[in-house]
Amino acid sequence: MAFEKIKVENPIVEMDGDEMTRVIWRLIKEKLILPFLEIDIKYFDLGLPHRDATDDRVTIESAEATLKYNVAVKCATITPGTVFREPILCKNIPRLVPEPTTADKSIELEVFNFTGSGGVALSMYNTDESIHAFAEASMNTAYKKRWPLYLSTKNTILKKYDGRFKDIFQQVYETEWRSKFEAMGIWYEHRLIDDMVAYSLKSEGGYVWACKNYDGDVQSDFLAQGFGSLGLMTSILVCPDGKTIEVEAAHGTVTRHYRVYQKGGETSTNSIASIFAWSRGLAHRAKLDSNALLLDFTQNLEAACITNVESGKMTKDLAILLHGPKVTRAQYLNTEEFIDAVAEDLRGRLPKRAKM
């Protein structure tokens, strides 16, 4: 008996990554995706060496392709370190010199006159257009899920910066979403970030939490670790229209495991977040294309992951939670063994056809 591959009518964008996640990404594609799907994958290598070789042009090209095809799946990538310029000193006052946009090369902006031995300054900006899009995406998500929406900021400290987020969210809600939310019995509310964190700890979920970037990074990692492992957390980036998405594992490239892998050692890296990046991206493709067979495949792929873990087949990070820090090698699977176990379970869930 052979598998009849499911035909995927429209392409998806694939963004490859770095280090250990690049290794498991390849295994997922080879063992869990290509054997079962007839699919056009638009491949972009976002590994750091290729980004450097193309002067990061490949990143722009992958984003443009995502806008064109609406669905992207992304492997975890390295965030390159920023090379900081030496501060320009004038009368012992540190100054920021922005990149000149005109012929005038003498533009200077005084940041702060330090009266002590020195210090640091923080400068950041956001556009109203970007904040408006963030608000639209958040409210669109809450509406689709039929869940209330909370925005968290620290506008008591960052009065103008965070206050701008608060004001624009409220404006978007009042002019475009309040009547829709109230008709559904849900609501939007702004809360201080510390109050929101306290609320999340005692809540049972069932709401959408709009976090600014740093707050979102901290809280999502906090919740993922509380539920077992960062290896279980997948991130879905949604455009305001709800049509275009990019899905990726929300953790890093697992450098420590990669160093062991490079030396030929055995690793036990949790691939579930990366597997779900593929499944959630493909599920969105299925919904856009009204492809019931593809949607069923994604559900079976996720169920295969869950069933394996519930039956005791898991990577070391999860086995430690079950058996304690003295877990033995017999109590967990290595990186490739886990993906093989998922593939075997998946094959048992999918229909087969007789060879012609």
The mean pLDDT of 233-258, rounded to a whole number, is 89
Model confidence pLDDT, tens digit, residues 276-293: 999 999 999 999 999 999
Amino acid at 235: S
Q: How far is Cα 12 from Cα 17, in angstroms, rounded to an integer? A: 16
The answer on pLDDT for 176 being more than 50 is yes
Whether 217 has a binding-site annotation, put simply, is yes
Model confidence pLDDT, tens digit, residues 133-169: 999 999 999 999 999 999 999 999 999 999 999 999 9
Percent of residues, the chain, with pLDDT higher than 70:
88
Q: How confident is the model at residue 200 (pLDDT cuts 50, 70, 90)?
A: confident
Domain 1-78+229-356 part of CATH 3.40.718.10: yes
The mean pLDDT of 188-211, rounded to a whole number, is 92
Q: How confident is the model at residue 354 (pLDDT cuts 50, 70, 90)?
A: very low
Whether 194 has a binding-site annotation, put simply, is yes
Model confidence pLDDT, tens digit, residues 79-104: 775 433 344 333 333 333 344 444 55
The answer on pLDDT for 174 being more than 60 is yes
Query: Which residue is associated with the tokens 């103008």?
Result: 160
E-assigned strands of the chain? 2-3, 6-7, 12-16, 37-38, 41-45, 71-74, 88-90, 93-96, 109-110, 149-153, 188-192, 208-211, 234-238, 245-249, 352-353
The segment(s) of the chain belonging to CATH 3.40.718.10 are 1-78+229-356
